[in-house]
Amino acid sequence: MITTIEHNNQSYKVDLSKPLDISIPLRADKENVNAWYIPKPRIEPVTDGQWVGQVSKGASTNFNNIFFNPHGHGTHTECVGHITPEFHSINDALKQFFFIAEVVSLQPEEQGGDKVFTKKHIVNSLSSVTPEAIIIRTLPNTNDKNTRQYSNTNWPYLEEEAVIYLRELGIEHLLIDLPSVDKEKDEGKLLAHKAFWNYPEKPRHAATITEMIYVNDKILDGQYLLNLQIAPFVNDASPSKPVLYKIFEE
């Protein structure tokens, strides 16, 4: 059913019954997507002596502990607190959850053994309407992004100039299907993170970066309504569930 919503004094027609989920589910096995040299996540029942919190073993309910790292085990959204000595929580940073977003597909270029997304990539891919959020689908776009083991792979990354351009456009939310907007091993420079959050000069506390998404090829490049859902963790990052809705022309 097509619904008209009002956002920032503009009307948009969307079908809320047809969500497009671009998150990667977290599961407790070796096929779970992984980065940053950490073991797989664990989901296991609480035990107390002979008691096991599992219905199949006699308990009245399933009662599991979950051990995971939001940065390394799946889709997550982070705030500037990810790179600051002072504590900042994503639960405080993200106070609105619907945004006009643009999906773009980018093929990195080779630079000295690295694969890099440049300012030119961004300039050539964005439409004339500046979105509040950008969703970057990297090419090639294969289904194994849902299970890829990224550690020690030197994944593609965004150059600093490209991210400065996004910040200057006023984009508040950057989403990408990689473990980081930065190079895997960059000696802690974090140039893209710092550029997007304008740190340390004038930090953008409401801006967020979401990493490890997966944008199915059925989702075409273009404009969408983004619902950026997070768990209310008091932490620099939270597992998240970004969902897109197609925008219909008037």
Q: Does position 91 have pLDDT exceeding 70, yes or no?
A: yes
pLDDT confidence tier of residue 250, bands split at 50, 70 and 90? low
DSSP state, residue 83: S
Q: Domain 2-26+73-248 class?
A: alpha beta
SS3 90: helix
* Whether pTM exceeds 0.95: yes
Q: Does position 249 have pLDDT exceeding 90, yes or no?
A: no
Residues in contact with 191: Cβ distance below 8 Å, sequence separation at least 6, in sequence order: 159, 160, 163, 182
Q: Which pair of structure tokens corresponds to residue 96?
A: 């609105």
Encode pLDDT of 104-161 as tens digits: 999 999 999 999 999 999 999 998 778 999 999 999 999 999 999 999 999 999 999 9
CA gap 92, 90 in Å, rounded: 5
Domain edges within the chain: 2-26+73-248
Percent residues over pLDDT 90 in the chain: 94
pLDDT of residue 1: 78
Mean pLDDT (whole number) for 149-177: 98
* CA angle in degrees (0–180, nearest 5) for 102-93-136: 25
Encode pLDDT of 213-239 as tens digits: 999 999 999 999 999 999 999 999 999
Of the candidates 146, 115, 154, 156, the residue with the CA atom closest to the CA atom of residue 215: 146
